[in-house]
Amino acid sequence: MESAPLNQTQTQVQARVNSFIRSVYNWMAIGLGITGFVAYYVANTESLRQIIFGNQILFFGLIIAEFGLVIAISARIQKMQASTATALFVLYSALNGATLSLIFLIYTASSITSTFFICAGTFVACSIYGWTTKRDLTSVGGFMTMGLIGIIIASVVNIFLRSPAMYMIVSYIGVIVFVGLTAYDTQHLKNMAMTQPDGLEAGVVRKGAILGALKLYLDFINLFLMLLRIFGSRD
């Protein structure tokens, strides 16, 4: 007779976890959809292309604004209203789409499409692994974060060196890094969902989902870009 309340509690926890994770992936999908739509629209609108890519100050200003939004959401989300966090995430997705529209001008549409499906399959496989594995991926996450820092430094250095070999090496290492981060972030979100206390306000849950969606969104976008460097065919 004592097992019924326990089973009921486990059922409630599982339902709460499923609801949170579903919200995370829904917001991630919304962010990716906004980015894809804006990127395609800008790439096919000559006036917008000229405004964004014809003015280097504006282009790099948009990139700086994107970094600022990521930092603001990540560092200050607990002090924001849920509606503010949501709006900033949507704004970031749109700005990222505007700058990423450049890939439509560099790569063929067929290679972008095929690479997207390769990325989606890889991302799903990594997420499933992160969700199901019993191995603690904390050390993997730390190692991959160090790898990410190395990629950033190497990419900045290669702006001046312009070495095709380094470009490809960074791309292959980048794939490994973001594959690892996808698995780690998925496990981290699962653990966060399972340890959430019952009765949290809807706004607090929403902010957690937005932050989780941002992490997975960044993993997906960066994995896609690294794969595109490897498999993309240029126009």
What is the distance between the alpha carbons of residues 193 and 16, in angstroms, rounded to a whole number?
Answer: 7
- Exposed, middle or buried, 136 (CB in 10 Å: 0-12/13-18/19+)? exposed
Q: What is the pLDDT of residue 165?
A: 93
What is the distance between the alpha carbons of residues 34 and 47, in angstroms, rounded to a whole number?
Answer: 20
Which residues make Cβ contacts (< 8 Å) with residue 66, sequence separation at least 6?
92, 95, 96, 99
Stretches where the chain sits below pLDDT 50 are: 1-6, 8
Q: H helices within 44-163, ranges in order?
A: 46-53, 56-76, 82-100, 102-106, 109-132, 138-161
* Beta bridge partners of residue 107, listed in sequence order: 234
Domain positions in the chain are 3-231
Q: What is the pLDDT of residue 5?
A: 45
Closest CA to 189 of 6, 11, 28: 28
DSSP codes, 29-73: HHHHHHHHHHHHHHHT-HHHHHHHHS-HHHHHHHHHHHHHHHHHH
3-class secondary structure, 2: coil
- Exposed, middle or buried, 139 (CB in 10 Å: 0-12/13-18/19+)? exposed
Which residues make Cβ contacts (< 8 Å) with residue 158, sequence separation at least 6?
166, 167, 170
pTM for this model (two decimals): 0.91
Which residues make Cβ contacts (< 8 Å) with residue 36, sequence separation at least 6?
97
78: DSSP letter: G
Half-sphere exposure of 131 (CA within 13 A, CB side): 10
